C-alpha cells in the first residue's frame, strides 16, 4: 500500500462521523521484517530532516497526539521519534491541570510549551483535552470557574473551538507547522489492550480503575471527538485520523505524515555567501596558524 498523508486527512469544514473512518485497514507492510525496514528508513529520513530544521531555524513543528486510552500514543512517539536528536525535539505530556494552571485561561498551560524555531515539539494530549474530557465531564468545567461554564451550551464550545483555531492560525502565520494525529481505536481493541495490561506484569502499572470508568463514557467521547475534529480541522492545521487497531501500521502512517510535513517545508542549508566564505577562511587561517 502506497502511503499518502491526504488519505488520512480531514478536509477543512468536513463533518466527521467516525463510523466512516476505519480503525483497521490492510497492513501497510507485508511482514514484520518489512515493517522494521520501513520504519528504520522513515526514522533515518526524519533524523536528516530534523537536523535541517534545526540548521535553517526558520520553522517549528508541533505534533499533537489525541486518542482514547490504550490507542498507542506513547508507543508511536517512542518508536517513530527514536532516531531524532533529543536536542532538537521536546515531548510534553499533559495530565491533570495544577491549581496554578486552572487559574489561567484554558490555553495557557500548553502555550508555555510550544516549540521554538528549529525544534519539533510533541504534545501527548494537549489543549484539545479542554473540549474533550471537560465536555464529557461537566463537573471538571464547573471547577474551573470559567466565564459561561455554568451553561456550557453549544455557544460555549463554539467559542473554545474558535479560540483554538485562532491560536493555530497565529502559529501557522509565524512559521509553526502543526500536525494533528487522532489515533482511531475500536472499543474491542481497547478491551484487548486493557486486558493485556492486567495479564502482563510489566504492563500492570499502565492500568487503573479510572481507565475502566472512562471506558463507560465511550459514546460520549466519540461524540466529543466528532465535534472537535469537525470544528478544528483547517487547511493550515488539519487533523489526520489514523487507524490504530494495528500498532505497526499506525506507526508507519504517523512517521509518513511527519515526513511529508517536513519535506513540504522545502528546507535547504543556509547558502554560502562571499562574506561567509571570507569569515570561514579567516577562521581556518587562525586555526592552522
Count the domains in the chain.
Answer: 1
State how far the Cα of 41 lies from the Cα of 28, in Å rounded to an integer.
14
Q: Is residue 131 part of a domain?
A: yes
Instruction: Note down the domain range covering 267.
Output: 5-191+223-288
Q: Is residue 197 part of a domain?
A: no
Res 102: pLDDT: 86
Res 140: pLDDT: 86
Q: Is residue 132 part of a domain?
A: yes
Three-state secondary structure of the chain: CCCCHHHHECCCCCCCCHHHCCCCCCCCCCCHHHHHHHHHHHHHHHHHHHHHHHHHCCCEEEEEEEECCCCCHHHHHHHHCCCCCHHHEEEEECCCCCHHHHCCCCCHHHHCCCCCCCCEEEEECCHHHHHCHHHHCHHHHHCCCCCCCCCCCHHHHHHHHHHHHHHHHHHHHCCEEEEEEEEECCHHHHHHHHHHHHHCHHHHHHCCHHHHHHHCCHHHHHHHHHHHHHHHCCCCCCEEEEECCCHHHHHHHHHHHHHHHHHHCCCCCCCCCHHHHHHHHHHHHHHHC
Q: Is residue 46 part of a domain?
A: yes
Res 149: pLDDT: 66
Residue 98: which CATH number? 3.40.50.300
Q: Is residue 100 part of a domain?
A: yes
Q: Is residue 71 part of a domain?
A: yes
State how far the Cα of 277 lies from the Cα of 249, in Å rounded to an integer.
46
Q: Is residue 199 part of a domain?
A: no
Q: Is residue 204 part of a domain?
A: no
Q: What is the mean pLDDT of each run of 10 residues along the chain (289 residues)?
A: 91 96 96 96 96 95 97 96 89 90 92 96 97 92 75 85 98 98 98 96 93 96 98 97 98 97 93 92 94
Model pTM score:
0.94
Amino acid at each position: 500500500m502506497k502511503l499518502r498523508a491526504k488519505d488520512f486527512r480531514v478536509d477543512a469544514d468536513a463533518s466527521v462521523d467516525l463510523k466512516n473512518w476505519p480503525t483497521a485497514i490492510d497492513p501497510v507492510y507485508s511482514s514484520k521484517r518489512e515493517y522494521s525496514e520501513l520504519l528504520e528508513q522513515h526514522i533515518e529520513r526524519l533524523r536528516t530532516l530534523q537536523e535541517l530544521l534545526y540548521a535553517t531555524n526558520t520553522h517549528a513543528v508541533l505534533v499533537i497526539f489525541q486518542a482514547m486510552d490504550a490507542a498507542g500514543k506513547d508507543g508511536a512517539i517512542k518508536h517513530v521519534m527514536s532516531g531524532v536528536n533529543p536536542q532538537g525535539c521536546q515531548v510534553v505530556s499533559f495530565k491533570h491541570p495544577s491549581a496554578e494552571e486552572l487559574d489561567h485561561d484554558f490555553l495557557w498551560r500548553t502555550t508555555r510549551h510550544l516549540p521554538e524555531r528549529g525544534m519539533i515539539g510533541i504534545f501527548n494530549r494537549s489543549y484539545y483535552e479542554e473540549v474533550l474530557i471537560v465536555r464529557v465531564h461537566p463537573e471538571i468545567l464547573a471547577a474551573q470557574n470559567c466565564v459561561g461554564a455554568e451553561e456550557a451550551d453549544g455557544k460555549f464550545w463554539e467559542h473554545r473551538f474558535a479560540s483554538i483555531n485562532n491560536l493555530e492560525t497565529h502559529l501557522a502565520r509565524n512559521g509553526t507547522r502543526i500536525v494533528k494525529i487522532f489515533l482511531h481505536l475500536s472499543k474491542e481493541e481497547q478491551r484487548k489492550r486493557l486486558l493485556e495490561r492486567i495479564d502482563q506484569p510489566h504492563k500492570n502499572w499502565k492500568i487503573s480503575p479510572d481507565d475502566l470508568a472512562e471506558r463507560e463514557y465511550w459514546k460520549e467521547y466519540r461524540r466529543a471527538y466528532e465535534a472537535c475534529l469537525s470544528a478544528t480541522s483547517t487547511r493550515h492545521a488539519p487533523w489526520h485520523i489514523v487507524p490504530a487497531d494495528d500498532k505497526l501500521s499506525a506507526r508507519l502512517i504517523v512517521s509518513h505524515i511527519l515526513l511529508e510535513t517536513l519535506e513540504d517545508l522545502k528546507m535547504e542549508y543556509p547558502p554560502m555567501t562571499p562574506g561567509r566564505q571570507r569569515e570561514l577562511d579567516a577562521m581556518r587561517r587562525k586555526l592552522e596558524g
